[in-house]
Homo-oligomer: A and B are copies of this chain.
Amino acid sequence: MIDVHVHEVGTRDGLQSVPFFVPTETKKRWCSAEARAGVGEIEVCSFVPVRLLPQFADAAEVVAHALTLEGLTVAALAPNLKGAQRAIELGVHKINYVLSVSESHNRANVRRSTEESVNDFARVVELARSVPEGRRPKIVAGLATALGCTIEGKVPEARVREIAAQVVAAGADELIVADTVGYADPASVRRLFKALRSDVGAMSIKAHFHDTRGLGLANVLAALDADVRAFDASLGGLGGCPYAPGASGNICTEDLVFMLEAMGLKTGVDLEQLIALRGEIQEALKDQPFHGTIAKAGLPKGFEKAA
């Protein structure tokens, strides 16, 4: 019924870059409204030490609220076993365990080698498997800097495939392949996602693009050509990576939904509701830069969403 899955990460990747604490009520309202608009999955928070990211001090409360929203898959980011443990205790449906393919970026981000992160990931899978079925979360491996790194520059495709093979062997249920710093171009996207598809077979591979250099939606189009059918995006393009200077902005949820629906690809998301929510959240996050065009330009006259 849904052709392409659009997942919201503004509540995590977006809020992570907001320099003040956003009230818990705003976060809850954001999740509720997105779920109501038809977004099927939200990365609602990050399980990192509160002293590093005080923004997510209320993670438990936000998760508890999100779990009451009908039909919503509640995902949370964890960069290590401890975070994953907490996410499991709180009953999230999905844990997005993020590690960087680029060695230097991984060290800057989580102060360990990529190999140590892969081993840690294996322990997260083991921990999840000890949870009784029915309550057991899916464990997703998020491969950051898979299309370039601000520290190392180009990241070899062979390296990405190698790390992907390792996390799949360790028991990943799904993959997220992330252009964390906005270095990807449509040609590299097509190549990498086609290669990964041939490596991992039918496993779900989601693309996570940043629009830092304006190619975000073109990269989505390239990934669609490589049979990717799930994308992360952030309302108003909010977000970035605090450890990658100049890397600002996920692709915009509302612009992504517009492109897909205009192309005749059903997302299940109500664009008008999303645009209204954008206005509301932008107001709640005063002074934060919001990106994107469809909210400003308006829908084309006679626009029809995918039937």
- Which residues of A are interface residues toward B (Cβ below 8 A)? 148-154, 181-183, 185-188, 211-215, 217-218, 220-222, 246, 248, 252, 255, 258-259, 262-264, 292-294, 297-298, 300-302
Q: In the complex, are the beta carbons of B297 and A246 less than 8 A apart?
A: yes
**Of listed A148, A150, A152, A297, residue having the most chain B CB within 10 A:** A297
Residues of B within 8 A of A263 (CB): 185-188
Contacts known (A153-B302, A259-B215); A221 close to B293, Cβ less than 8 A: no
* Residues of B contacting A212 in the complex (Cβ-Cβ under 8 angstroms): 293, 297
Chain B proximity of A155: nearest CB distance (Å): 10
**A-B contact sample (14 more), CB < 8 A, given A187-B262, A213-B294:** A148-B301, A149-B301, A150-B301, A151-B301, A153-B302, A183-B300, A185-B259, A186-B259, A188-B262, A213-B255, A213-B300, A214-B259, A218-B220, A246-B297
The closest CB in chain B to the CB of A302 belongs to B153
Count of identical protomers in the assembly: 2
- Complex CA distance for A302 and B212, rounded to whole angstroms: 16
Q: How far is the CB of A40 from chain B (nearest CB, A)?
A: 22
List 3 A-B pairs, minimum CB-CB distance, nearest first: A153-B302, A185-B262, A214-B293
B-side contacts of A221, CB under 8 Å: 186, 218, 221-222
Query: Knowing A218-B221, A263-B187 touch, does A302 contact B154 (C-beta < 8 A)?
Result: yes
A220 to B187, CA, bound (A): 13
Instruction: Let me know if B214 and A292 touch, CB within 8 A.
Output: yes
A292 to B213, CA, bound (A): 8
Cα-based distance from A181 to B262 in the complex (angstroms): 15
Q: How far is the CA of A59 from the CA of B21 in the complex (A)?
A: 56
- Chain B residues with Cβ below 8 Å from A294 are 213-214
Report the bound CA distance from A292 to B186 in whole Å: 17
Smallest beta-carbon distance A94→chain B, Å? 28
